[in-house]
Amino acid sequence: MDRRIREFLEYIELERGHSQLTIRNYNAYLTKFAEFAKENGVTSVKEIDLEIIKKWRLHLHRRNLGAKTLNYYMIAIRSFLKYLAKTDVKSLAAEKIELAETPEREIEFLEKKEVGRIFKSCSGNDLMELRNRAILEVLFSTGTRVSELVNLDVEQVNLDRCEFSVLGKGGKRRVVFLSEEARDALRKYLEKRPDTDKAVFIRVLTVRKEDQEKETQRLTTRQVERIVQGAAKKAGVVKKVTPHTLRHSFSTDLLRGGADLRSLQTLLGHANITTTQVYTHVTDEHLKEVHHRFHNKKEEDEDNF
């Protein structure tokens, strides 16, 4: 079983292009399952059956894991079993493993006024303020993930065409688009920079120039998270605001403006349309308001005849 797991991890890295974080997580989930299986007399993938899966699920449940976390373990096993079937290795059919029902996902997003206040909180002209404003504008304008943002290089950005390409999950590349405001913010920031670092978003250091070359300039995801949270706090926004909140806000704004789900799916880099459909729930109230205004107007027009 250990050998098959190792082969599976190599497969999802080389053939499927999964990120190192995903590979680490799958390795952790499957290694723990393999250890549990061996303790229960299951040492070969051919011996995996519904009984050992039931015992494993019960073991995880008794550790007080939530339904969502428990599903992560089950998804890892299902992916592993699908790989075994693909390589003609006899084992349990993946579709026989069911996932636990989870509460409907809640999407936190910002209204346009809140986004505007956050932008205004970074209105200075020094390099750090220009950088932070550019980060906020780009996140909201493109809907990029924070991991995609920090890996962005200057040579990838076409300010004339207001677009750039990002490498998303699964090694899939897509093009995203900048609003005029985001383009202008990004241009001001890049023109202010005195360095030649290839990364778009870098740390603003106060050390000597000769020492900066020894430092890693590119911002980390955690540093960007702190920048976003700090801007929201400064703007007086009481909601919990993260880079992903801006991604949700981007999606909601597009749907409210009339964008279709398929287009949004492409812009977000979702592999499956069902992932994108979560945003339809947050726009239901907006659609209700539109219907209400239209319906009331119709009744008023009839009263005027």
Task: Decide if 270 is catalytic.
Answer: yes
Nearest to 278 by CA among 107, 148, 119: 107
Q: Which of 189, 247, 262, 281 is catalytic?
A: 247
CA atoms of 175 and 281, how far apart (whole Å): 26
CA-nearest of 83, 63, 75, 80 to 99 is: 75
169 catalytic? Reply is: yes
4 is catalytic: no
Active site residue 145: yes
Catalytic residue among 78, 270, 281, 292: 270
Cα separation of 119 and 288, whole Å?
Answer: 29
CA-angle at 70, arms to 64 and 71, nearest 5°? 160
Catalytic residue list contains 203:
no
| Contact in structure between 193 and 127 (CB atoms under 8 Å) | yes
Pick the catalytic residue from 169, 187, 192, 193.
Answer: 169
Contact by Cβ (8 Å): 55, 41: no
- CB atoms closer than 10 angstroms to residue 40: 14
Q: Which helix (H) or strand (E) holds 114?
A: helix 112-120
CA distance 150 to 272: 24
The residue annotated as part of the active site, out of 29, 73, 83, 279, is 279
| Residue carrying the six token digits 């346009």 | 112
Structure tokens at 274: 């069902």
State how far Cα 239 lies from the chain centre.
19
The residues, ordered by sequence, that sit 6+ positions from 264 with a Cβ below 8 Å of its Cβ are 251, 254, 255, 276, 279
* Active-site residue, 298 included: no
Alpha-carbon distance 232 to 242, whole Å? Answer: 9
Of 46, 82, 187, 244, the active-site residue reads: 244
219: Cα separation from own chain's centroid = 17
Quote the radius of gyration of the chain (alpha carbons, Å): 24
- Single out the catalytic residue among 145, 183, 189, 248: 145
* Active site amino acids: 145, 169, 244, 247, 270, 279
